[in-house]
Amino acid sequence: MTDKIRIAVVGANGAFGMKHLDGLANIEDAEVTVVSATSQEKADAVAEKYGIPNAVVGLEAVLERDDVDAVILATPTGLHASQTQAVLAAGKHVQVEIPLADSLADAEATLAAAEASGRVAMVGHTRRFNPSHQFVHGRVEAGEFAVQQMDVQTYFFRRTNTNAKGEPRSWTDHLLWHHAAHTVDLFAYQAGRIVEAHAMQGPIHPELGIAMDMSIQLKSETGAICTLSLSFNNDGPFGTFFRYIGDTATYIARYDDLFTGKEEQIDVSDVAVSMNGIELQDREFVAAIREGREPNSSMRQVIDCYRVLGELEEQLA
């Protein structure tokens, strides 16, 4: 394959759709041929901003095109499973933003569709690609560091239904199926398969219908443990912060940046070709298509995360 991988970004007007477009702009082997949004006006605005030749509304208008090899889905969580299956049925490669689905049954059905398709099928578990977590993973793989405990805080101030840009959202976010998925997958990636999981949640919000606070405890097959605190009520720093406590060091990861346990910054600029985790995620997607191989964060690799989330949902119910 010598030509560029032709990509459509669906949900391009959202916060993460634009993050993908920013990343793809730096990837020589990728060409965004079309963007899709919920209205023609929004699609046109994104296409003009990024210099994309085609702008359409909805997924169906993307799948009927012959200038699309692969689709990135940055759409509402509730659509992920069905849209991913539709992309695969159309014979196109797919990367779907986290979470793959909001139920274990839908995740398993989507994995079955991916395995039957022969196409590259990847989920946007960005933490696997952040240079900070890549650095730690490299030390784990080299036998130089073993995780004993991970302490993770996922905090937002989101008492209204808004997205990462502060704009009104048409769907309801979820601490378990969306935000916890990042840490559940990362903990298994760094410390081994999860063999025990427990969860508690706070009161259900009367309007949003979801818990605004949650606590999760995990244990891996290596004996490592993880404590994850999640909140939509925290009036403070926005995002997720990871503390790795290991047998030889302590690390604090804040997205793409890494620090020692004493808050000394570690230079991770040479870990990968970019310091942008989402760009690195998209580079892996494009490379896997070009090389005809399974990508890191494939559906097969991350399905166990959704097994754990399904178990936790049953506990909370």
Q: Calculate mean pLDDT across residues 135-146.
A: 98
Amino acid at 39: S
Query: At residue 219, does pLDDT exceed 90?
Result: yes
Rounded to whole angstroms, the Cα distance separating 308 from 195 reads 9
Bridge-based pairing state of the strands 55-57 and 30-37? parallel
Rounded to whole angstroms, the Cα distance separating 298 from 300 reads 5
Any idea what DSSP says for residue 185? H
Using the Cα atoms of residue 7, residue 11, residue 15 and residue 18 in order, give the sign of their dihedral. Answer: positive
Give yes or no for a contact between 261 and 252, defined as CB atoms under 8 angstroms apart: yes
Query: At residue 33, does pLDDT exceed 50?
Result: yes
Query: At residue 23, does pLDDT exceed 90?
Result: yes
In the chain, pLDDT over 90 holds for what percent of residues?
A: 90
Rounded to whole angstroms, the Cα distance separating 125 from 105 reads 19
Q: Calculate mean pLDDT across residues 143-155.
A: 98
| DSSP conformation letters of 277-310 | HHHHHHHHHHHHHHHTSPPTTBHHHHHHHHHHHH
For position 1, what pLDDT does the model report?
47
Would you give the distance in Å from CA 135 to the centre of its chain?
18
Q: Is residue 104 very low, low, confident or very high in pLDDT (cuts 50, 70, 90)?
A: very high
Alpha carbons within 13 angstroms on the beta-carbon side of residue 65 total: 22
Give yes or no for a contact between 147 and 244, defined as CB atoms under 8 angstroms apart: yes
Give yes or no for a contact between 30 and 22, defined as CB atoms under 8 angstroms apart: no
Q: Give all domains of the chain, ordered by start, each with its CATH number.
A: 5-127+277-297 (3.40.50.720), 130-271 (3.30.360.10)
Query: At residue 167, does pLDDT exceed 80?
Result: no
Q: How many helices (H) and strands (E) does the chain have?
A: 9, 14
β partners of residue 243: 151, 252
Both tokens assigned to 293: 């191989």
Rounded to whole angstroms, the Cα distance separating 197 from 315 reads 9
Give yes or no for a contact between 233 and 157, defined as CB atoms under 8 angstroms apart: yes
pLDDT per position as a tens digit, 230-280: 999 999 888 999 999 999 999 999 999 999 999 999 999 999 999 999 999
Candidates 48, 49, 93; CA nearest to 71 is 93
pLDDT per position as a tens digit, 63-73: 999 999 999 99
**3-state SS, residue 3:** coil
Query: At residue 162, does pLDDT exceed 60?
Result: no
Give yes or no for a contact between 54 and 29, defined as CB atoms under 8 angstroms apart: no
Residue 28 phi/psi, 5° resolution?
-60, -35
